[in-house]
Chain A
Amino acid sequence: MTAAMVRVEGLCKRFSVPRREAGLRAALRALVRREYRVVEAVRDLEFSLAPGERVGFLGPNGAGKTTTLKMLAGLIVPSAGRVEVAGFTPSDRRPEFLRRVSLVMGQKRQLSWDLPAIDNFEFNRVVYEIDPVHYKRRLEELTALLDVGEVMRRPVRQLSLGERMKCELVAALLHGPQVLFLDEPTIGLDVSMQLGIREFIRRYNAEHGATVILTSHYMEDVAALCPRILVIDGGRLRFDGSIEALRRQIRPLRRVSVRAAALPDDPTAMGRVVLREGGRLVLDVAPERVPEVVGALVALPEAQDLAVQDAPLEEVMRALFGREEAAELG
């Protein structure tokens, strides 16, 4: 049993937020006496991650996933509890710790706007004390994988969002971090770019064994990248396991669809009818009844396109959080 790369015990974060009513009078009153409201962003989190794991934090906006990520990266100090990453307490922000981790934020640029990315890379080489031979090899490897050989010589401000994000990834990985924190890395990117970045992260993880922790709004990102997911909602850990296990826990019904010349008179006896249109029938069926239902559907005249699937991920998320959040899918 290898030691955990990330260990979190009883982790809490409370913010006090100034509170006031709307309007001028309230604004004036707030000048004299500010009232604060305590927001518990993260409550009593507990988990640990092994080296090389790819883990996704899922949850609606304001659920506490980014706050948790920032505590792991050492940017914000926990209110209570313990965090250990690569053997360090992140909030001490010791140089030895910072050289072992990297944080990429999709909504924040970290590269200097007016300089070519290559200048930023060179800067990182010095700051992270990367051995020149290593640096050259890694730069070649990363730029080839992400196809930014030309792009990195143009000022960052002239790059498209996708090109910039690729350069951000290169900058974040040059020093070979053991732990990679990714906060919404594919936000705003088109589908093919999302797929490219996703594939790159998977490959990087496989080849270098770095632990990857990801938060994303795009459920597909998390589902495709992370064998393990942590669902955080209201600052609490609500689920820890594989995406399949989550799907089956939240939506145990299997989705069975078929096309036939004639459909059964009363399909409600087989399961919940999702769609019945023309010659097409879609049903949600209890797992133990799937063989029986499939048997009946295959027997239909000219039956074709029979499929049995898990419930779509966005429905799982909507059911889990009961909000529209999950509908924002890429």
Chain B
Amino acid sequence: MSQRAAQLARVIAAVWRISLAEAIAYRVSMLMWVLTTTFPLVSLALWSGLAAGGPIGDYARPDFVAYFVAAFLIRQFTASWVVWELSGQIRNGDLNTLLMRPMSPMIYHAIQNLAALPIRCALALPIGVVVLVLAGGLAWPSPGSLALLGLSLALAWLLNLAVHVAIGCLAFWVTESTALFEVWLGLYLVLSGAAVPTSLYPAGLAEVVRALPFHASLGFPVELAIGRVTGSEVTHGLLLQALWVAGFGLLAAVLWRRGVRAYEGVGG
């Protein structure tokens, strides 16, 4: 058993090395990607403008700056793009290569995703810093809550990954799985807190929105990062994240298993 674990660790390290090398080879396109996911920074400009005349709800101008810079960075830290890769590989038959290797294609995708994150973060951090300097003000979390933030980020990343895999696997049956992902993305932009902090939704609606997976994948870790959730809210939020991870993880696993059985191995 420990031998298998050691082999898994070696495989993960090898995927990490090769993916890091690839990520470096693609650094320019990755910078472009970081720049196109600056949506929270657009929200920042909008909301800090609106808050110039006085606070909105419990958000004053500096709160918006802190919130959206954190949202921008956390989106980079937890980003996944597996849905594009996976659905493409299923449709054009490139999945064949992954399936022939004596390792799980899912592990490959997860590690590849993870290995590119440091580069994305290195590209995104300066942008965050520049925005902070220009806009001023940020309350960083206390060192004690950093561990919880780390856990929350890991869960957010896992949740994103599971959603990506689940939707990507639909390509085993339908051609337009990426179109379905666009629908998900549309809901995400509105409901995750990328456009509006979900606590600013009207009472009644806010509770519903804050229970959805969108908020668990972005809004919650952002609020944790800027110290807006405390005490039992933290535990509650982390549990909710874990629950969504388990739900989508299970869905992704079932779809993957069935999908591989239905796979037609197109091309070549």
Contact = CB atoms under 8 A, between A and B. Distances in A.
B18 A115 contact: yes
B96 A114 contact: no
B94 interface: yes
Contacts of A105: 96, 268
A108 B94 contact: yes
Highest count of chain B CB atoms <10 Å: which of A76, A98, A101: A76
Interface string A50-86: 0000000000000000110010011111000000000
Interface in B81-108: 93-94, 96-97, 99-103
A106 interface: yes
A98 B264 contact: no
A127 interface: yes
Which DSSP category, helix, strand, loop or mixed, fits chain B's interface?
Answer: helix
Nearest to A129: B7
Most buried by A among B93, B103, B268: B268
A110 B267 CA distance: 13
Interface string B1-14: 00000010011011
Interface in B240-268: 260-261, 263-265, 267-268
A126 B102 contact: no
A74 B265 CA distance: 10
B102 A128 contact: yes
A127 B99 contact: no
B180 interface: no
Interface string A105-149: 111101010110001101100111100000000000000000000
Nearest to B4: A95
Contacts of A128: 101-102
A184 B263 CA distance: 21
Contacts of A115: 18, 21-22, 25
B227 to A, nearest CB: 42
Given A75-B263, A105-B96, A127-B11, A119 B18 contact: yes
Contact of B14 (A76, A110, A126): A126
A108 B267 contact: yes
A76 B264 contact: yes
A103 B260 CA distance: 18
Contacts of B101: 98, 127-128
A93 interface: yes
B26 interface: yes
Nearest to A120: B18
A106 B193 CA distance: 47
Nearest to B12: A126
Contacts of A184: 268
Contact of A15 (B94, B99, B261, B264): B264
A114 B268 contact: no
Interface in B4-60: 7, 10-11, 13-15, 17-18, 21-22, 25-26
A183 interface: yes
Nearest to B19: A112
A110 B102 contact: no
Interface in A249-266: none
A102 interface: yes
A99 interface: yes
A108 B14 contact: no
Best-buried of A77, A107, A120, A155 by chain B (most CB within 10 Å): A77
A115 B112 CA distance: 14
Contacts of B99: 74-75, 93
Given A76-B263, A127-B14, A108 B25 contact: no
B265 A75 contact: yes
Interface string A147-159: 0000000010000
Nearest to A103: B100
A98 B96 contact: no
Most A Cβ at <10 Å: residue of B18, B93, B267: B18
A114 B13 CA distance: 19
Contacts of B261: 77, 91
Contacts of B11: 126-127
A98 B268 contact: no
Interface in A12-49: 15
B14 A123 contact: yes
B268 A112 contact: no
A128 B21 CA distance: 20
B103 A95 contact: yes
Contacts of A75: 96, 99-100, 263, 265
Given A107-B268, A108-B93, A108-B97, A127 B22 contact: no
20 contacts: A70-B96, A75-B263, A77-B261, A77-B263, A95-B102, A99-B102, A105-B96, A108-B93, A108-B97, A112-B18, A115-B18, A115-B25, A119-B18, A123-B14, A123-B15, A126-B10, A129-B7, A129-B102, A155-B25, A184-B268
Given A75-B100, A115-B22, A127-B11, 15 more contacts: A66-B268, A74-B100, A75-B265, A76-B263, A76-B264, A93-B99, A106-B268, A108-B267, A114-B21, A115-B25, A122-B14, A126-B10, A126-B14, A127-B103, A129-B102
| Nearest 4 pairs of A and B residues by beta carbon | A107-B268, A114-B25, A126-B14, A95-B102
Interface of A: 15, 66-67, 70, 73-77, 91, 93, 95-96, 98-99, 101-103, 105-108, 110, 112, 114-115, 119-120, 122-123, 126-129, 155, 183-184
